[in-house]
Chains A and B, each alone.
Chain A
Amino acid sequence: MKTKRIFLIGILMLASLAIAFVNADKRNIQPIAYNHNKHVEENDMECLDCHVYAEENAQASIPNIEDCIVCHEEAVTESESESTLLSYIQENKVIPWRQVYVVPDYAYFSHRRHVKLGELDCTICHGDVGRFAEPISEPFVEPVMDWCMDCHEEKNVSNDCYACHR
């Protein structure tokens, strides 16, 4: 009986360790621990300052060293993440950001259509990302079809399959 209990406790501990490990791994998917809060809330930057194509193109674009260098030519703070960024800049290496929001290739999603033409706020899909201090590791909402269609119905825009699928 006792051995059984110890065995069970052991399994539980192992499982919790595994979960913690997976979660920690999930949080560290980005190459740099980017802090949205520091940029948006504390330094009054706009989403469009870095995601420059959000109003013009289908893809909003994820900034890379050529955009970061505008402010970070030299160290602005003493943070560890900034020094990682500076090393990327000095070595002229592309930051391998992990894309978190992935739309399948059979769906046509355009940022211009939603941000510029539909005048939607970024927070609807991306949450209050400006206040996130942790790097983005998972999407705020899972971009699933039901969710898209509910909003399309609410805003009275086409829900024809070909409005999005291709």
Chain B
Amino acid sequence: MPRWGMVIDLNKCTGCGECVAACKVENNVAIVGPEESANERTMLWMNILTTYEGEYPDVKVRHMPMLCMHCENPPCTKVCPVRATYLNEDGIVAQVFPQCIGCRYCQAACPYTVKSFNWYKPEWPEEMKKAVNPDVSVRPDGVVEKCTFCIHRLQKAKEQAAAEKRELQPGDYIPACVECCPTKAIYFGDFDDPKSEVNKLKRNPRAFQVLEDLGTEPKVYYLSEVE
């Protein structure tokens, strides 16, 4: 079975936010107003973590796209009382929305704080209602949601490959953020495939995982910036 994973090259990332926008549109992630956003209720499956180093005028800005790390040893799945979140056979940390009871244990357990809770029934402005992606469900209020590595794309890619009577090829399935990145800073592939690009990149000396000492074994690797 494949183990889907991601490598993000921070040297190439300009922090433009294209991945954030692509993710939000692709996955029908709800829009919350500025007031709710100020209450830390922003809904984002992918976010850019921006840090500032130094004092003006010698400021160094660093950007780091943060998303669900799809850990091999996920802390969130262990606390879910209803198995709405679990590590599935493709190595993706699943979040099954109709199963979720909204207890938010998983949100509290996630050390990367990448899970969002639907405080309200999602609503879109009139002009955007017809732009909702039909391949992805619109979550009701009271459920936790997070990046699914665009699982609907995997479902379709698997079906297409089966219809063409072939195995899934590299590039058949890529999430929206990877497809949209203008500097091609995000790589995606199967970590179990020894020939895959992500497999080579994760062995790069620049590669690191976020909070790797926690032992969660994230499947999102970063290539550190070179000064």
Given the complex, which residues of A lie within 8 Å of B163, measured CB to CB?
112, 116-117
A165 close to B96 (CB less than 8 A): yes
Any B CB within 8 A of the CB of A106: yes
A106 & B97 in contact (Cβ 8 Å cutoff): yes
A113 interface residue, CB < 8 Å from B?
A: yes
Closest residue to A166 on the B side, CB-wise? B152
Q: Which of B92, B98, B162 contacts A162 (CB 8 A)?
A: B92
Distance between A143 CB and nearest chain B CB, rounded to angstroms: 14
For A17-59 the 0/1 string (1 means CB < 8 A from B) is 0000000000000000000000000000000000000000000
Residues of chain A lying within 8 A (CB to CB) of residue B136:
166
Find out whether the CB atom of B88 lies under 8 angstroms from the CB atom of A160: yes
| A146 within 8 Å of B (CB atoms) | no
8 Å CB interface, B89-105 against A: 89-90, 92, 94, 96-99
Complex CA–CA separation, A117 to B97 (angstroms): 27
Q: Is the CB of B155 within 8 A of A108?
A: yes
CB distance from A105 to the nearest CB of B (A): 5
Residue B172 lies at the interface, judged by CB distance under 8 Å to chain A: no
Contacts of A108 in B (CB 8 A): 135, 152, 155
| Interface status of A158 (Cβ within 8 A of chain B) | yes
Of all chain A residues, the one with the shortest Cβ separation from B84 is A161
- With A and B bound together, what is the CA distance between A117 and B96 in angstroms? 25
| Chain A, range 114-148, C-beta contacts under 8 Å to B | 116-117
Q: Size class of A's contact patch? A: 10 to 19
Contact of A117 among B98, B99, B162 (CB under 8 A): B162
Q: Please tell me if the beta carbons of A106 and B98 are within 8 angstroms of each other in the complex.
A: yes
* CA of A166 to CA of B134, assembled, Å: 11
Partner of A166, one of B88, B148, B162: B148
Q: For the complex, what is the distance from the CA of A52 to the CA of B130, rounded to whole Å? A: 25
Residues of chain B lying within 8 A (CB to CB) of residue A162: 88, 90, 92, 94, 96, 148, 151, 154-155
Are B138 and A105 closer than 8 Å at their CB atoms? yes
Q: What separation, in Å, do the CA atoms of A112 and B97 have in the docked complex?
A: 25
A83 near B: Cβ within 8 Å?
Answer: no
Query: Given A112-B163, A117-B162, A160-B89, are A165 and B97 also a contact pair (CB < 8 Å)?
Result: yes
Does any Cβ of A come within 8 Å of B141's Cβ?
Answer: no
> What 10 A-B pairs have minimum CB-CB distances, sorted nearest first?
A106-B137, A161-B96, A166-B152, A105-B137, A106-B98, A117-B162, A162-B94, A162-B88, A165-B96, A160-B88
A-side residues, CB < 8 A to B, are 104-106, 108, 110, 112-113, 116-117, 158, 160-163, 165-166
Binding site for A on B (CB under 8 A): 86, 88-90, 92, 94, 96-99, 134-138, 148, 151-152, 154-155, 159, 162-163
Residue contacts A-B, CB under 8 angstroms, 7 given: A112-B163, A113-B162, A117-B159, A158-B89, A160-B94, A162-B94, A166-B135
